[in-house]
Amino acid sequence: MNKFEILKKSLDLKYNPIGIKLIFENEANQIPDKFKEPENLQRYCAFVKKAAQGEFIKIKKGDFSCVTAEIMLGFKKPKKVEMNMRMNIKGLNSILLFPANKYNMNNFESIILIVTPKNCMDIIEAHTRIFKKQLKISCGLYTGVCSEVTAQVIKAEKINFSFLCSGSRFLTGFDECELFCGIPLKMISEIVKTIREISEERKIDRTLIEQLKNHS
């Protein structure tokens, strides 16, 4: 069982963890055949959801029905508005999205988790245990999967959460209790190890609570 499958199991996630890999111009011919280009324009959050359900997707400039995502991911420049969360990476050709627990890829940038409030509690606790400090998140004017848990996580190399934008919530069909968490790859190993420990502690706590109920 790889670490991403351990993470999915420990958090009891409904969806697969989504890996994000940036592909540059000099790597464009090295993409495995299993990554497919979309047949229709879609929102970035819709592509992410498909990857969470097991698809392997390659997206590039011109594949988006949402212009905000195309700007935030660095495929298009904003005309008037300054967007601090926006990626602006020279030579970016495309982005690969894939179920990280089902495919072994080295040196990708980050993962996205589709989580519940309970999952958020465990992730924040894991971060606090590891780094001995509060987890500060950035929720900006331009909210959503493309900005807060993709661009911002890759740029800052820090965990971040998103409450989604209205388009993600209503048009892509995410549940009202689902949130997103982005984690940079450099943090994954420690986060997975600590969340696994927390998951085992939660099981012990539940067992003790049930025992107390039975004796009351």
Residue scoring higher pLDDT (166 or 103): 103
pLDDT per position as a tens digit, 78-98: 887 667 788 988 999 999 999
- How many domains is the chain built from? 1
* 169 or 118, greater pLDDT: 118
pLDDT beyond 90 at 140: no
pLDDT digits (tens, 9 = 90+) for 33-53: 999 999 999 999 999 999 999
Question: What pLDDT shows up at residue 216?
Answer: 66
The angle, 0 to 180 degrees and rounded to 10, between the axes of the packed helices 185-215 and 117-131 is 110
Answer yes or no: is pLDDT of 169 > 90: no
Q: What is the domain extent for residue 182?
A: 3-215
- Is residue 141 very low, low, confident or very high in pLDDT (cuts 50, 70, 90)? low
pTM assigned to the model: 0.93
Average confidence (pLDDT) over 9-15: 97
- 187 versus 89: which is more confidently predicted? 187
More confident residue, 86 or 123: 123
